[in-house]
Amino acid sequence: MKFEPLKNIKILDLTAVVVGPVATWRLGQYGAEIIKVESPSGDLMRGLGGMSPTGQHSGAYLHLNRGKKNICLDLKKEGGQQIIQKLVEWCDVIVANMRPDALERLGLDAATIRSKYPEKIYCLITGYGTDGPYSGLPTYDSVLQGASGIAGLTMARDGKPAYVPMLICDHVVGEITAGTVMAALMQRQNTGIGTSIEIPMFETMASFVLQEHLAQQSFEPPVGPPGDLRLLSPHNQPVKTKDGYLSFTINTDAQVQAFLKITDREELLHDERFISVASRAKYVSEWFEIRGAALDNKSTDEWLKIFRETDLPAMPCHTLETLTNDPHLKAVELIDFENHPTEGKTAVIRSTIKVDGNYPSARSTAVPCGWDTTEILSELGYSEIEMEKILIEKAAYNFKRSKQS
pLDDT at res. 405:
46
Query: What's the rounded mean pLDDT across residues 53-70?
Result: 96
In whole angstroms, what is the distance from residue 149 CA to residue 348 CA? 33
The values of phi and psi at residue 127, to 5°, are: -70, -45
In whole angstroms, what is the distance from residue 64 CA to residue 380 CA? 26
Give me the sign of the Cα torsion angle 34, 175, 177, 154: negative
State pTM to two decimals. Answer: 0.95
**Nearest alpha carbon to residue 142 among 43, 237, 48:** 48
* pLDDT one-digit tens code per residue, 133-180: 999 999 999 999 999 999 999 999 999 999 999 999 999 999 999 999
Domains of the chain (ranges; CATH) run 10-208+333-404 (3.40.50.10540), 239-316 (3.30.1540.10)
Q: Within 10 A of 184 (CB to CB), how many other CB atoms are there? A: 19
Q: Confidence band (pLDDT; 50, 70, 90) for 403? A: low
Angle between helix 201-213 and 150-158 (nearest 10) = 40
Coil, helix or strand at residue 83: helix
Q: Confidence band (pLDDT; 50, 70, 90) for 401? A: low
* pLDDT one-digit tens code per residue, 361-370: 778 999 999 9
Could you tell me whether strands 33-38 and 10-14 are parallel, antiparallel, or unpaired per DSSP bridges?
parallel
Structural contact between residues 38 and 72, judged by C-beta atoms closer than 8 angstroms: yes
pLDDT at res. 74:
98
Query: What's the rounded mean pLDDT across residues 126-135?
Result: 94
Coil, helix or strand at residue 24: helix
* pLDDT one-digit tens code per residue, 305-336: 999 999 999 999 999 999 999 999 999 999 99
In whole angstroms, what is the distance from residue 365 CA to residue 375 CA? 17
**Nearest alpha carbon to residue 35 among 21, 48, 49, 51:** 21
- Please say if the pLDDT value at position 351 is more than 50: yes
- Please say if the pLDDT value at position 131 is more than 60: yes
Q: Confidence band (pLDDT; 50, 70, 90) for 73? A: very high
- Please say if the pLDDT value at position 5 is more than 70: yes
* Burial of 95 from C-beta contacts in 10 A (0-12 / 13-18 / 19+): buried
* pLDDT one-digit tens code per residue, 196-254: 999 999 999 999 999 999 999 999 999 999 999 999 999 999 999 999 999 999 999 99
pLDDT at res. 402:
58
Angle at 52 between CA 164 and CA 360, to 5 degrees: 70
Cβ contacts of residue 300 below 8 Å, gap of 6+? 241, 242, 243, 244, 245, 246, 316
Cis-peptide into 40, omega within 30 deg: no
Coil, helix or strand at residue 354: coil
pLDDT at res. 152:
97
